[in-house]
Structure 1
Amino acid sequence: MSNPTPASEPVTLGVDIGGANLKYADTQGNVSSVEFPLWMRPDDLAGQLKADFAAFPDASRVVVTMTGELADCFLDRCVGVQHIVDQVCRAVKQCGGSSPLFYAVDGHVHSAAWAMEHVDLVAAANWHALAKWVARRFASQLSGGGLLVDIGSTTTDLIPLCDGGVATASRTDFDRLSEGALVYLGGGRTPVCALVDHLDWQGHPVAVMREVFATMDDVRLLLGYQPGDASDCRSADGKPRDAFHAANRIARMIGLDHRTVDVENAKQLAIQVHQRAQAIVSEAIAAFGGRGPLVVSGHCSDLLPIDSDGRQRISLPAILGDDVSRCAPAFAVAHLVG
């Protein structure tokens, strides 16, 4: 990272460190999302960050938010936060940058030393950063209240907004799970067997196998909500992410395979899973009540039913673009500071 000339505006790079993805967005409009299995390679984080920072040569400061401390390679959240903070500091130092800042659920950014001492405020704070930015950006439209619905690959975040701010006292994942604000359902990694206990096949309900044979990634791929990639084998069975193999994975959920279930048949199974996922999201939204607008974020908005009781929708993908919306928490922390 380089230092800008004195006459230029400082460029802030926001970084969202998850357990499976690293997301970046700077105040110049540049974004990037990089798959990185933190739970498998925690000690390689600094090296990956350093390599990724090269795509943002104008950034003069780094602001970080995270959820990666939840990765099961860490004994607890304290160990996870401290490891991530240390790795970020190493990467920034190696790039010759100034000391990074870390976003906390108190709504402020802090030094690395502070983050090391206040791990529970820094842990899983990316939802709060996004909600704070959204509440400010759309304050006039949300004056009577609203709900941010952020649907990613792993989770769905539901965050009430009002009067230009975040309208919840919840701070931790436990708090948010307890109030129904954190729904562990996303458009990528969620196992099919976690959503349905049976699937209808040829007019009869068949119990699903409680194994991670297929995920929501397969469901959305088959239904055209995301593209396949035959060169990508990061799937439940390690085989290609294409329609043929996705169909085979779905078929295995009811003890069948491609010899019996072709792609078109598999789509009918996928529709059932997708509808159940939509129902879970819809039920969670309804539990919050209210009639204000829904601010929709994330790259899996198809999991939000089209008819949400007629509530107005504000789409971040439509306003910011799909790439920025995918990296929305990183975009948010960059702009809250920058």
Structure 2
Amino acid sequence: MANQQFHGHRTPPLSMQPGMYQSTTRRPLMELLAFDIGGANIKAAHQHGGAWIRPFALWKHPHELVNQLKELAQFAPSFDQLAITMTGELCDCFPTKRDGVSHILGVTKQLARNRPVNVWQMDGRFVNPATACANPGLCSSANWHALATFIARKHPKGLGLLIDTGSTTTDIVPFEDGQLACIGLSDTDRLTTGGLVYVGAERTSLMALGPDVNWRGKQCRLMAEHFATIADAILLADDAILERPEEHDTADGKPMTRHYATTRLLRIIGADTEMTDPAQTSRLAMQFVDQAIKRITSAIKQVLPDQPPARIIISGSGESLAHAAATTAFPQTPTSRLSDHIGPEASQAACAHALLQLHQVYFSH
């Protein structure tokens, strides 16, 4: 495919333009711990193995971030430098992205003490916190870019597509001949062009998947209230999905069980458990799951409207949604799961794992 078809940002793999990726502060390889700091989860990976994920509502407790990072680091082997990417700067506790980037990197410097901190930028470089804070647009919401760059480097020939569906969003990133071929880098640009879809497998509010559903043969408008999430619908639509009674990060704070998920789901149409039966509830839940898949599928076709990719790689906690959308959009294209390539443990913290690999290449030049 000709490059101009994308009219977008193309990031050469690190090995193809070594001058661009050369560090201005050469240092020997050390023990590296990588963090992907989000608004709802913190993920970490260590270069000698091991990956960890910790739910944390950054928007509620921004000043607790340093303690959360310290506790998570205790699970990892010793380290003498950090690699950082983030999306948590988007939290509404920060007036601007610049403020969020400054806060997060200030906290990571506290954790690091005198150890080096290397921040991934979307120009394909690792920089120090001062440089990152001076250019917040390049490191803001850059975790998808790190993951996609890592994957693109593994596929030096042909057109491919990464579909990463997490708890909150889906990233859709084309790559060609080892390079990213995405249109735009900022969240705003990617929302416009299909590269970013605010549909995930956990936190997406069902009211965002409206405006209506079919209920007993009639179109029923949804209540514009945060009564339930896509996680409730997924649980109720598939009997094979396990309940998570220990999890209370739900719309009403009650456990992630079918009993409570049913109550939450029915509220979105003003109903309750005395007004329906399990079969009807399951059909209602499936409508929301189908709508989520349709949203992702539509974005995939917007990103690649003309030519199917040679391969699709799916990742994230919402792999099932990503797979369904991928096979709907391009039923003839081979689809593989990132977890099959890097292992299920590393795939839980895929962006942090990608940082480890990119860091090794970057500092080896």
Question: Is the pair's TM-score, using the shorter chain for normalization, greater than 0.5?
Answer: yes
Preserved contact between residue 207 and residue 223 of structure 2 (Cα < 8 Å): yes
Preserved contact between residue 243 and residue 263 of structure 1 (Cα < 8 Å): no
Where does residue 63 of structure 2 map in the other structure?
43
Secondary structure of 1:59 counterpart: coil
Secondary structure of 2:80 counterpart: strand
How far apart, CA to CA, are the structure 2 residues paired with 1:138 and 1:50? 36
Where does residue 181 of structure 2 map in the other structure?
167
- What is the number of residues matched between the two proteins? 325
Where does residue 66 of structure 1 map in the other structure?
86
Preserved contact between residue 58 and residue 88 of structure 2 (Cα < 8 Å): yes
Secondary structure of 2:220 counterpart: strand
Q: How does 1:174-323 map to 2 (within 5 A)?
A: 174-224=188-238, 226-289=241-304, 290-292=307-309, 293-304=311-322, 305=324, 306-307=327-328, 308-323=330-345
Where does residue 117 of structure 1 map in the other structure?
134
How far apart, CA to CA, are the structure 1 residues paired with 2:111 and 2:241? 33
Taking a change above 3 Å as real, the CA distance of residues 68 and 136 of structure 1, as seen in their structure-2 partners, is: same
Q: Give the CA deviation at 1:302.
A: 1.5
Secondary structure of 1:14 counterpart: strand
Taking a change above 3 Å as real, the CA distance of residues 226 and 103 of structure 1, as seen in their structure-2 partners, is: farther
Secondary structure of 1:189 counterpart: coil
Where does residue 130 of structure 1 map in the other structure?
147
How far apart, CA to CA, are the structure 2 residues paired with 1:61 and 1:133? 20
Query: What amino acid is the match of 2:358?
Result: L
Secondary structure of 2:266 counterpart: helix
Secondary structure of 2:65 counterpart: helix
How far apart, CA to CA, are the structure 1 residues paired with 2:313 and 2:234? 22
Taking a change above 3 Å as real, the CA distance of residues 28 and 123 of structure 1, as seen in their structure-2 partners, is: same
Preserved contact between residue 208 and residue 254 of structure 1 (Cα < 8 Å): yes
Q: Give the CA deviation at 1:265.
A: 2.7
How far apart, CA to CA, are the structure 1 residues paired with 2:241 and 2:61? 27
Query: What amino acid is the match of 2:242?
Result: P
How far apart, CA to CA, are the structure 1 residues paired with 2:251 and 2:82? 34
Query: What amino acid is the match of 1:329?
Result: C
Q: Give the CA deviation at 1:318.
A: 2.2
Unaligned runs of 5+ in 1: 1-7
Where does residue 3 of structure 1 map in the other structure?
none
Preserved contact between residue 244 and residue 263 of structure 1 (Cα < 8 Å): no
Deviates most, 213-222 or 70-79:
213-222
Preserved contact between residue 291 and residue 311 of structure 1 (Cα < 8 Å): yes
Q: Give the CA deviation at 1:9.
A: 7.0
Where does residue 349 of structure 2 map in the other structure?
327
- What percent identity do the matched residue pairs reach? 34
Where does residue 161 of structure 2 map in the other structure?
147
Where does residue 101 of structure 2 map in the other structure?
81
Secondary structure of 1:256 counterpart: coil
Instruction: State the Cα deviation string for residues 267-316 of structure 1 (Å, max 9, x = none).
Output: 11111110111111111111222211111111102113244331111210
User: After the TM superposition, which segments of 4 or more aligned residues of structure 1 sit over 6 Å from their partners?
Assistant: none
| Residue of structure 1 aligned with 2:116, choices 73, 86, 99 | 99
Q: TM-score, normalized by length of structure 2?
A: 0.85
How far apart, CA to CA, are the structure 2 residues paired with 1:288 and 1:159? 8
Q: TM-score, normalized by length of structure 1?
A: 0.92
Preserved contact between residue 155 and residue 177 of structure 2 (Cα < 8 Å): no
Secondary structure of 1:24 counterpart: strand
Preserved contact between residue 50 and residue 92 of structure 1 (Cα < 8 Å): no
Preserved contact between residue 313 and residue 336 of structure 2 (Cα < 8 Å): yes
How far apart, CA to CA, are the structure 2 residues paired with 1:180 and 1:36? 28
Preserved contact between residue 153 and residue 188 of structure 1 (Cα < 8 Å): yes
Please give the root-mean-square deviation of Cα atoms over the aligned residues, in Å. 1.7
How far apart, CA to CA, are the structure 2 residues paired with 1:315 and 1:109? 27
Preserved contact between residue 247 and residue 261 of structure 1 (Cα < 8 Å): no
